[in-house]
Amino acid sequence: MAITVSIELSRDLEIPASYDEVFNLLADVPESASHFPKVDKLVDLGNNAYRWEMEKVGVDKHAIQSVYACTYHADKDAGKITWTPIKGEGNGVVSGSWVLAASGDNATAVKFQTSAELTVPLPSLLKLAISPVIKHEFNSLVDTYMNNLKKVF
């Protein structure tokens, strides 16, 4: 038995660094991922595709781990970095984008958007109780990630 939790979120932020600096960091998936909390492993699958293996959350047999893979495409001229899911890798399906624009003398406006579906091996009776917990955890991870990125610059 398993439940699927869907998550959609977006963030807007201003980073006090040049467009080139911000784009180069975000387009470098391993470097960008190094600032994302609770990543157990980032596995290079080749051709700009990566599998994210997050740290386990929970205790013993009730621990759950998010695992998903995406292919990344960076278009510096368009100011966009996108990721699309690789089906059949792990228990999550994640897609999204960064959209960047120069803002002022030495700042970059950044829009982050992602959609995720996570399937966890729990009884369907727990969906109402566990969905908000998973969504809160995901939001918290993304907020920490955004704060970590701001600190880099």
pLDDT at 91: 94
pLDDT at 86: 97
| Cα–Cα distance, 117 to 5 (Å, whole number) | 6
pLDDT at 75: 98
Phi, psi of 96 (to 5 degrees): 165, -170
Taking 50 as the pLDDT cut, the residues of the chain under it are: none
The CATH code of the domain at 3-152 is 3.30.530.20
DSSP string, 28-67: SHHHHHTTSTTEEEEEEEETTEEEEEEPPBSSGGG-B--E
Q: Where are the domains of the chain?
A: 3-152
- 32 with 145: CB under 8 angstroms? no
pLDDT at 13: 94
pLDDT at 61: 66
- Name, in order, each residue with C-beta under 8 angstroms of 79's C-beta and a sequence gap of 6 or more: 19, 23, 99, 100, 101
pLDDT at 60: 67
| Cα–Cα distance, 67 to 62 (Å, whole number) | 16
The tally of CA atoms less than 13 A away on the side-chain side of residue 112 is 18
Q: Residue 71 corresponds to which amino acid? A: T
pLDDT at 62: 64
Q: Which tens digits make up the pLDDT trace of 67-105? A: 999 999 999 999 999 999 998 999 999 999 999 999 988
Q: What is the pTM of this model?
A: 0.91
- 18 with 117: CB under 8 angstroms? no
